[in-house]
Structure 1
Amino acid sequence: MNELALFAGAGGGILGGHLLGWRTVCAVERDAYAAQVLAQRQNDGIIRTFPIWSDVCSFDGKPWRGIVDVVSGGFPCQDISGAGKGAG
C-alpha cells in the first residue's frame, strides 16, 4: 500500500504505517523543525527515503495518481505535544 503523507509532522504516523506494511512515497510538512526531524529519521534508517515538500498549497499531487493508494493526514499537535505546550 503506497501512502502520501500530508501534514506528516516528525513521522510518527509514517512509522505506524510502515509497521502496517505501507510504503510512504512522498510527504508534505510545513513546519521546518518537524521536516528536519523527518529527514533525520530517513538518514538514520528509521523510515525509508522519500521526497518531502514544505507547502501543501504548491504541492502537485497529479504525478502521484495511480501510484498512491492511501492519503494520510496528521492533525496539529503543537498545543498537546510534550515538545509544544505540553497539555497532552
Structure 2
Amino acid sequence: MIEACANPSIVLQILPFDAGARAAMGGAFTILDYDDPVLDPTVVYIGNDTSTLLMEKESQVARYRLTFDHLRAKALDPDQSGEFLARVADSYPG
C-alpha cells in the first residue's frame, strides 16, 4: 500500500479509527462508473456474505456519492495517508 501511494494514478486515503463516527458505518460499498454512462449507467454495489445489492437509481447513486465525499473529507489526505502507513509499518518488528 505504501508503494501504491507513490503511483500518481492511485489515490489512497486512510480513515483512522480516531476520526470518530462517520458516514457509511453500515458497511462497505463500491461505486462503479463506466466510460459510457448512457450504455452503462453508474451502479452502487453492496455485497456481503449472504447477499448482493446493485442500485442504479439516480437518487440512490447520489446518496452514496455524497457518503463517499463525506468519507474522503474526513480521511487523511493522500500524503498524510502515506506517512500514516509508513509509521504503522515502522512500528511492527521484523
> Larger radius of gyration, structure 1 or 2?
2
Q: TM-score range by the shorter chain?
A: under 0.3
Greater share of residues in helix:
2
Query: Between Structure 1 and Structure 2, which shows a larger proportion of strand residues?
Result: 1
TM-score for the superposition, normalised by structure 2: 0.26
TM-score (norm 1): 0.27
